[in-house]
Amino acid sequence: MLDFIIKRFLQVIVVVFLALTVVFFLIRLAGDPTTLFLPPDAPREQIEEYRELLGYNRPLYVQYGDFVSSAVQGDFGESLRSQEDALGIVLSRLPATFQLAISALVLALLIAIPLGVLSAYKRNTVFDRIGVGLTVVGQAVPSFWLGLLLIFFFAAQLKVLPSGGGGTPVHMILPTLTLAAYSVARFTRFTRSAMLDVLRKDYIRTAKASGVPTMRLIMRYALRNSLIPIITLVALDLGVLLGGAVITEVVFSWPGVGRLLMQSLMNRDFPIVLAGVFIIALIYAIINFVADILYAYVNPQIRVK
């Protein structure tokens, strides 16, 4: 087990490192952003001077070496726009993103688990059909459109909820709903199939035959035993949530990492893009790492593979 953890951990480092390398070269190949941060009437000499100052005139491999050696120390350079530490800026937006992602995750689980359980227990009944139907439709609705619809109904028509900006809990309602919706569809499916697996097991049949009350059967025997596979599947799926968070943040002007990344892409503020990619890759890799270990813990044969 320890071997497996160490191996997986090294993999996390390799993954993050390679992701940064790829983005670094893509960015440099796409040209340098110097001119965007100077007044439009800046003369060529000043542009050249800036280019030199920022190091964009050096050979690519030198720039890369430099980048790697400072990135290892957590230094991704300064934001071209605000001249502040890029990683610091990204980290300062992280709490807002977590806030949104975690509340959406909790909401999604609160809806999806009962729905999935019901769907599995009442297999092939109306409940199941509705449950499955919701997941199928849910997966076809892109989150940005759902966001627009929510803005339209709750902010534009009913005028009861704010459609954007950060801060108060009220501001969180619409983005949380939007982000949770997509995950609800996926999590319901996970729960349903995990429950179906457990419900087929002999001990459940025995318990059922010996007259254990339904609620107790589900809660005590079935759900408890399917919780671990559900959790691991959910953990493996958090990347989708993370990707969705970016779009949701943009739609609702939520002050998190996603909006920062989008703005920095628009502004060509590449140190921030690199720091943002680093943080997202790192979080995602860590989530995968934890989920994998969980998974390996539950199914020991995985490790052997």
Partner 1 sequence: MKKYLVLLMTIGLLVVMAACTEGTAGGDDGTSSDGSGSDDGGEKDSLVIGFESDAATLIANNDVNYVTDTQIRNIYDPLIERDAQNGDLVPVLAEDWENVDELTWRLTLKEGVKFHNGADFNAESVKFSIDYILDEANNSAYRSRWVNVEEVIVLSDYEVEIKTSEPFPSLLDRITEDLLIMEPGYVEEVGTEQAAKEPIGTGAYQFVEWSRDNYLQLEAFEDHWRGEPSIKNLEFRYIPEFSSRMSAFLSGEIDLFKNIPVDSVEEIESSDNAKIEEVSSSRINYLTLNTFHDGPLQDVKVRQAINYAVDVDELLESVLNGYGTKMTGPLAEINSGYVETDDYGYDPDKAVELIEEAGYDPESMTLSLDTPNGRYPMDSHVAQGIAAQLSEIGIEVEVQVNEWGNHLERIQNREMGDMFILGWGPAFTPQSTIENLFTENAPYSSFHDPEIEERIHEVNTTFDDEERMEGYAELQHVLVEQAAWVPLWQQADLYAVRGDLNFNPRVDEKFQVHEMSWE
Partner 2 sequence: MASSLPQGEQALDQSVKPKQPSKIAEFFSNLSRSWTGMLGFSIIILLVLLSIFGPWITPYDPEHAEFGKKLLPPMTDGHLLGTDQLGRDIFSRIIMGARVSVIIGVATVCIAGLIGTIVGIIAGYFRGWIDIVLMRIVDVQLSFPFILLVLVINAIIGTGLRNIIISLAIGGWVIFARVIRSEVLALREKEFITSCIATGVSRLEILVKHIVPNLFTPMIILASLQIGTYIIAEASISFLGFGVQPPTPAWGNMLNEGKDYIFSSWWLITFPGIAIVLTALGVNLFGDWLRDTLDPELKGE
* Residue 5 interacts with, from partner 2, partner 1, none (CB under 5-8 Å by kind): none
Q: Considering the complex, what minimum distance in angstroms separates the CB of residue 142 from partner 2?
A: 5
The structure tokens listed for 2 are 């320890």
The per-residue DSSP string of 47-58 comes to HHHHHHHHTTTS
Q: Which of 98, 144, 154, 297 binds partner 2 (CB under 8 A)?
A: 144
The rounded distance, in Å, linking the Cα atoms of 159 and 139 is: 28
Residue 280 binds to partner 2 (criterion: CB under 8 A):
yes
Q: Residue 233 carries which side chain, given as an amino acid letter?
A: L
Residue 106 binds to partner 2 (criterion: CB under 8 A):
no
Q: Considering the complex, what minimum distance in angstroms separates the CB of residue 136 from partner 1?
A: 28
Q: Considering the complex, what minimum distance in angstroms separates the CB of residue 10 from partner 2?
A: 11
List phi, psi (to 5°) of 85.
-60, 120
Residue 54 binds to partner 2 (criterion: CB under 8 A):
no
Q: Residue 167 carries which side chain, given as an amino acid letter?
A: G
85 - beta bridge partners? 78
135 - beta bridge partners? none
* Residues 150-179 close enough to bind partner 2 by CB under 8 A: 151-152, 156
* Residue 139 interacts with, from partner 1, partner 2, none (CB under 5-8 Å by kind): partner 2
* Residues 172-211 close enough to bind partner 2 by CB under 8 A: 193, 196
Residue range at the interface with partner 2 (CB under 8 A); choices 7-15, 46-54, 61-69, 172-180? 7-15
Nearest to 97 by CA among 12, 15, 187, 176: 176
Residue 168 binds to partner 1 (criterion: CB under 8 A):
yes
Looking at beta carbons only, is 126 or 215 nearer to partner 2?
A: 126
The structure tokens listed for 247 are 């779009």
C-alpha angle 25-27-28 in degrees, rounded to nearest 5:
65
The per-residue DSSP string of 106-172 comes to HHHHHHHHHHHHHHHHTTTSHHHHHHHHHHHHHHHS-HHHHHHHHIIIIIIIS--S--S-SSSHHHH
Q: Which of 26, 38, 160, 302 binds partner 2 (CB under 8 A)?
A: 26
The structure tokens listed for 70 are 């400072």
Q: Considering the complex, what minimum distance in angstroms separates the CB of residue 1 from partner 1?
A: 11
Nearest to 198 by CA among 138, 130, 123: 123
The rounded distance, in Å, linking the Cα atoms of 133 and 127 is: 10
Residue 228: C-alpha distances to residues 14, 19, 61, 172, 195 (Å): 28, 30, 47, 29, 11
Residue 148 binds to partner 2 (criterion: CB under 8 A):
yes
Q: Which of 2, 44, 209, 211 binds partner 1 (CB under 8 A)?
A: 44
Q: Which of 172, 174, 242, 279 binds partner 2 (CB under 8 A)?
A: 242
Instruction: Confirm if 72 and 234 have CB atoms less than 8 A apart.
Output: no
Q: Which of 19, 115, 180, 184 binds partner 2 (CB under 8 A)?
A: 19
Residues that bind partner 2 (CB under 8 A): 11, 14-16, 18-19, 23, 26-27, 30, 136-137, 139-145, 148-149, 151-152, 156, 193, 196, 239-240, 242-244, 246-247, 250, 261-262, 265-266, 273, 277, 280-281, 284-285, 288
Residues that bind partner 1 (CB under 8 A): 31, 33, 35-44, 46, 53, 79, 81-84, 89, 92-93, 95-96, 98-99, 102, 151, 155-156, 159, 162-169, 227-228, 231, 235, 250-253, 255, 259-260, 263, 266-268, 290, 294, 297-298
